[in-house]
Every structure is written in structure tokens, then in C-alpha cells.
Amino acid sequence: MTGETNLEERRAALEAIANEIRQCEQCPLYSARTNAVPGVGRVDADIMFIGEAPGYHEDQQGLPFVGASGKYLGELLSLIGLSRTDVFITNVVKCRPPGNRDPLPAEIDTCVPAYLQRQIDIIRPKLVATLGRFSMALFFDKNARISKIHGQPRRADGRIYYPLFHPAAVLRNPNLRPVMEQDIKRMLDLIKEIEKGGIEDEPPPPKQLSLF
């Protein structure tokens, strides 16, 4: 009963954040949006997918990953026996950048602590799968290249961070399909690790020795 109440409180807190996002004017992206896109899925999801920013269809519908990328993400999830309703899906910034340009550093720096960080704190996912480089840069070395570190999990904060290509990048470059599908299938092992519980943080990488 307490657990259910707690779940209700978390659901209400997540919905309150969604309502704040829908009215947010904290960065210039609010002025061109049709709808803000807070995110969708389970409040107690073990797995959270974080993309970059809403695109045209997402802006029109107020939902994340509903265009071609979303359809492909759904296909990828089905490879590991999951559907959108089993996870939580959101983006780094919640409003569509005009013309689908990249989100600017100031927009990311405003939106992430205001909303994404609070969503993570409420959902407490065991695995955060980043989709694309903007999302990856929040949790991995900012200079890392996605082509080098995709599919390589990092255990920290009692959870697993898992960098993936953005589905839109894979749709633009079909050569990446087998790579993306392999990375997604590798999530099965990570999910088993989650189900066992007790994810051990990895020691931070050793400092590079100076040669000078």
C-alpha cells in the first residue's frame, strides 16, 4: 500500500513537471514551439531513453519519438521484447529548435537542470540509454565520439549509462543498422544485471600519466 502511494506521489510529481514544461518560457525555444514535449512512459521505468530534442512530428503532437525515428525505436525495442510502454522516453531539451537545428549550449544548460534532472530523480531508472551525441555528452566525456563509445556501458551513480546512436542517424545511414541492432541486443545482458540488482559503480578511469 505504501509502495502504491509512493508510486502515486511520484506520478503526480512527474505530471507536475510536465505541466511546468508545457508553460515554460525559460529559454528562447518556447517562442517557436507548437507543443512542448515533456516525455512519456512509466514513472517506475527501469530504462529511460533520452534523445536530443523534439522534431516536427513531436512538436505537433506533444509526444517524443512519434515520427520515423520513433517507429524505428519501437522496432528496436521489440528486438528485446519491450515496447514504449515499458520504458520512459524523453529528450535533453523539451521544445523543438527551429528548423531542427542543434540545441544551443545555453538552451541545454537551462533545460536539463530544470526538467530532465528532476525527471531522472523521480523515475530513478537503472539504465539510462542516451540516443545521439547531445544526450551522450551529459553523462560521458564531452570529447568522446559516439562512433567510438556507442554500446559501451558505464556504471556510475548506482545505474548504467549506455550510449547509443540516435535512431534518426541510423535511418540516414543504413550501414549503422546492424551496429545499432547489436547494441540494442546487448541491452539484454544489462537488463539481466539490473534484475540481479546492486549495480556496482566502476572506479573512475585512471588519470593519464604526464610524460612531461
For binding to ligand SF4 (CB under 6 A), which residues are involved?
21, 24-27, 29-30, 36, 93-95, 107, 110-111, 114
- Collapse the DSSP code of 141 into the 3-class scheme (helix H, G, I; strand E, B; otherwise coil) and give the result: coil
| Type and span of the H or E element at 155 | strand 154-156
* Residue closer to ligand SF4, measured from CB, 62 or 153: 62
Q: What is the DSSP code string of 37-65?
A: ---EE-TT-SEEEEES---HHHHHHT-SS
* Residue closer to ligand SF4, measured from CB, 69 or 91: 91
Whole-angstrom Cα Rg for the chain: 17
Q: How far apart are CB 104 and ligand SF4 at their closest, in Å?
A: 10
* Residue closer to ligand SF4, measured from CB, 40 or 171: 40
* Residue closer to ligand SF4, measured from CB, 111 or 180: 111
Q: How far apart are CB 136 and ligand SF4 at their closest, in Å?
A: 19
Q: How far apart are CB 40 and ligand SF4 at their closest, in Å?
A: 15
What separation in angstroms does the CA of 66 have from each of 9, 52, 96, 109, 176? 28, 14, 13, 25, 21
